Structure 1
Amino acid sequence: MKQYVVYRRVSTEEQGRSGLGLDAQRRDIAIFLENFSEAPYEVIGEFEDHLSGKHDDRPQLSKALELVRSTGAELLVAKLDRLSRKVSFIATLMDDTKVKLKVASMPQADKFQLHIYAALAEQEREFISARTKAALAEAKARGVKLGGLRDKTMKRNDAVQANAKARAEKVAKTILPLRAGGASLRAIADALNSSGVLTARGGKWQPSQVSRVLDRLEAAS
């Protein structure tokens, strides 16, 4: 029987971001197990860290890897950056002959392909950082007061987050009981639409929107 050890990671600031929250990771892992895993399979352990991916010293990841090495099970993560944002860490892990890795969002990728993806993702993050610094330097040269600009941006972001949180709490009484009862994201979206509940933009609910609301509720709990 195929065995998996599931590992999830989220940092505090990522709790409410779409695609990065714990509920989103559980969803992606469930999709992989239901559609791409060998059958039969068994999840023999689940571990979860609430730490930045920049840190290699994560206690729950260490426990997950220990179980993987001792049982021969495969380490399963939702996305590669949930394991680490550092290509050096991922490369070292892939060199470990006792560790087998599977990424739910890239179900067919082998170790070589995952290594390439990690390297490209790191290059992209470095470029984005350099681009941001260059843009700030250009703005400063034009006389833009960066501190004031950031303050306005932060206030606007805070207002957006507060509004999103309020709307999430408004539909919590419908969404949470359904999710606790095992309803899928699609089923919850259909239930909201059937009840005449509209999204923030006055439209119909989609599973992705339900997932974002669940992430926000989870972050606020």
Structure 2
Amino acid sequence: MKQFVIYRRVSTADQGRSGLGLEAQTRDIDLYLTNYAETPYEIAGDFLDVLSGRDNDRPELTKALDLCRRTGAELLVAKLDRLSRRVSFIANLMDDPKVRLRVASMPNADKFQLHIYAALAEQERDFISLRTKAALAEAKARGQKLGGLRDKTGKRNEAIQRDALAFTQKVRPIVEPLRASGATLAVIAGALDGAGISTARGGKWTPMQVKRVMERLSLAH
């Protein structure tokens, strides 16, 4: 049976940026498994790093890679930059004969294509950094006050995080005891609906939404 080891990486800053947050990565991985994965398949492990993303400080990625090497499972990530932003790291990983990599957002890409994409993405980030520095220097030369927009964006993201955490704490008394008793995600979703508790957006609960709440609860501990 086909086996996958799922790896996701997120930081506080990522949670406020579309496409990089935990929910977005989970969605992309679910889309891959539903539409592209060989069936039947098995999830051999699911690992999550919550940190800055430095390549030398990701304990869960180390565990995920060790599991891949021991079981022959394929490492599945949502986006290539969730694995690393450095071409050298990705290249070394691709040279490992015991690790096979699959990127959900590029479901049919082979090793060569992923390597090329990583190199191009690194060049683009370097150029964007240079362009941003040049634009800031020009704005400063014109006497334009800097930092206002960034401060507003940061405060808005912090407010979103506070609201998400507050909602998670609201459903904790129902979710945690049910999960501890062995209830499935579907059963917990039904219990929340039955208690008259809507999702944060006012809708009905799904097993995936329950899973995301549980992940937030684990991060809050």
Would the TM-score normalized by the shorter structure come out above 0.5? yes
1:143 alignment counterpart: 143
Q: Is the 8 A contact 1:5 1:67 kept in 2?
A: yes
| Deviation (angstroms), 1:150 | 5.2
Residue 25 of structure 1 and its aligned partner are, at CA, apart by 1.4
Deviation at 1:220, TM superposition (A): 9.0
- What letter corresponds to residue 69 of structure 2 in structure 1? R
Kept in 1, the 8 Å contact 2:16–2:157? The answer is no
Q: Deviation at 1:56?
A: 3.1
**Normalized against structure 1, the TM-score is what?**
0.70
- Aligned counterparts, 1:7-156, within 5 A: 7-147=7-147, 151=151
CA distance in 2, matches of 1:23, 1:157: 15
Percent of pairs with identical residues:
72
73-82 vs 15-24, greater mean Cα deviation: 15-24
Letter in 1 for 2:96: D
Q: Distance in 1 between matches of 2:153 and 2:77?
A: 33
* 1:27 positional shift: 1.6
What is the CA deviation profile of residues 58-105 of structure 1, one whole-angstrom value per residue up to 9, with x for unaligned ones?
100000000100111110111111111111111111111111000111
* Equivalenced residues, count: 207
Matched residue SS, 2:3: strand
Q: Which runs of 5+ in 2 are unaligned?
A: 167-182, 187-200, 202-208
Q: Are the counterparts in 1 of residues 76 and 102 from structure 2 also a CA contact under 8 Å?
A: yes
2:58 alignment partner AA: R
TM-score, with length taken from structure 2: 0.70
Unaligned runs of 5+ in 1: 167-179, 184-199, 201-209
Question: Could you say which structure has the greater relative contact order, defined with CA pairs below 8 angstroms and 6 or more residues apart?
Answer: 1
SS at match of 2:75: strand
Q: Give the drift of 1:17.
A: 2.6
The code of the aligned residue for 1:114 comes to: L
